[in-house]
Amino acid sequence: MPISPARIIAFDTLLRVETEAAYASEILHARLNAKMDENVPTKAAKLSTRDAALATEIVMGALRWQRLLDFFIERYTKKKTTAIDAEVLVTLRIGIYQLRFLSRIPARAAVGESVELVKRARKTSAAPFVNAVLHRAANESREPAENFFPQEPALVDALALAHSHPTWLVERWLKRFGRAETAALLDANNKPPNRACAVVDSENRDNVILGLAEARVESQPGRLLRDALIIRSGDISKADAFEEGRIAFQDEASQMIPLLLRVNRGDSVLDVCAAPGGKTMALARAAGPEALVLAADLHENRLHAMRKRLARSEMSNIKMVALDATASLPFSGKFDRILVDAPCSGTGTLARNPEIRWKLKSSDLAELHQRQVLLLSSALERVASGGRLVYSTCSLEPEENEHVVSETLKAHPEFRTDAVEIPPGILAVDALAETLVGDDGAFRTFPPAHHTDGFFAAVLLRR
């Protein structure tokens, strides 16, 4: 039985995530935009839209539901997943995911191609084992998963297994959000996120929409931002607006962060953790071509990718520098506006980056907190008199958000927080500013409520 290109890409991607701690979205982007390898008969052909969609569905679905899939694997094999070879384990996850979650995939295709995948991975001796396990899985695939759970599990265990999340993460969310909001969050994390886009030049928005329609890309207005678009269907890469850099994929909450900095024409701006560059571009547009906009990042390779992206947008007022921003910043001058979009756990992005939930450990939060305090502290030293700084993360965890701000301010009494103000005219018609800013003045988005990634932002002013 030949193996479809979609399943080959899904297998290769998931195996790298499993064995190399790679990020699925990065691998998928590279594979879906490349020609197929020598194992695929249609070597010279570009991957079809249908195969690209199926590969993405299998990869992201298998990662989101990995805990539940592993529960069934251990049920059928009577082995711990840690005792199963990675190639076999990934094959079983792919097979069971299709059997349980993709009703349009015939069982024979899910089973048969999985057997061929494990052979392709040079694990031929495991083929009968995979075949037997998946046939058993197929026989039970229409029964609700809960029917097989241990009797009367604790609430946290039941939610964690049923929604395929780590128990420690569900436990802390239950304490903070309560049962209803936690269940809604878990559910949101297991659904594909909106394919939101930022329109680079808002005055050109109508032309962008027209161009998307001509490329057979269906879009709709953003939920939060007036100038955002959500792609409903179609291949955006075929649209001139995407190729020319006039539109870029970016979550709506992420699009809002640079707007909170309230950059004025001519302001000097520092983006401390700039890559991949979406927020930097928004800052540069607000500051204007005559202003200094400095984009810094720890990794030179990320800045290189950012340069290629900026080349399409024809922005010339952005300068780049690779540096470790946890140390004192090597600048003699100060900046009117600084953005610290800090590297974080990413718990607000688990729908978009599902593998994070399996990589992250509770102990990581303390380490991230320490690094974030150093980043914020060094950035504060470069804020000009009367200047403004925005600290943001895509995390839901207080250790990375409120606690970072409060600890840093204790060491820098010359700064204070200021309530976030949503700039007038940027919100979509039905979006309400009061749902985005809490009683403490901080900006927050919550995935099930706002249909975006979960973001936090605080504004800090020099007294």
Do residues 220 and 230 lie in contact, with contact meaning Cβ atoms separated by under 8 Å? yes
What are the backbone angles phi and psi of residue 44, rounded to the nearest 5°?
-85, -10
Do residues 14 and 90 lie in contact, with contact meaning Cβ atoms separated by under 8 Å? yes
Provide the 10 A C-beta neighbour count for residue 432. Answer: 11
* Structural element, H or E, at residue 341: strand 335-341
Cα separation of 231 and 196, whole Å?
A: 6
Do residues 89 and 109 lie in contact, with contact meaning Cβ atoms separated by under 8 Å? no
What are the backbone angles phi and psi of residue 318, rounded to the nearest 5°?
-110, 120
Q: Which ranges constitute the DSSP H helices of 215-322? A: 240-243, 252-259, 278-287, 300-313
Provide the 10 A C-beta neighbour count for residue 75. Answer: 13
Cα separation of 412 and 354, whole Å?
A: 36
Q: How far apart are the first and last CA of the chain?
A: 70
Encoded tokens for 390: 């925005």
| Angle (deg, nearest 10), helices 5-20 and 86-101 | 130
Place of tokens 């790298």: 16
Do residues 403 and 369 lie in contact, with contact meaning Cβ atoms separated by under 8 Å? yes
Helix, strand, coil percentages for the chain (3-state, nearest 5): 50, 15, 35
Angle at 83 between CA 77 and CA 88, to 5 degrees: 65
Cα separation of 419 and 409, whole Å?
A: 15
Cα separation of 193 and 125, whole Å?
A: 39
Cα 369 to chain centroid distance, Å, stands at: 20
Provide the 10 A C-beta neighbour count for residue 367. Answer: 12
List beta partners, residue 383: 335
391 dihedral zone (left: phi>0; alpha: psi -120 to 50; beta): beta
**Which residues belong to the active site?**
394
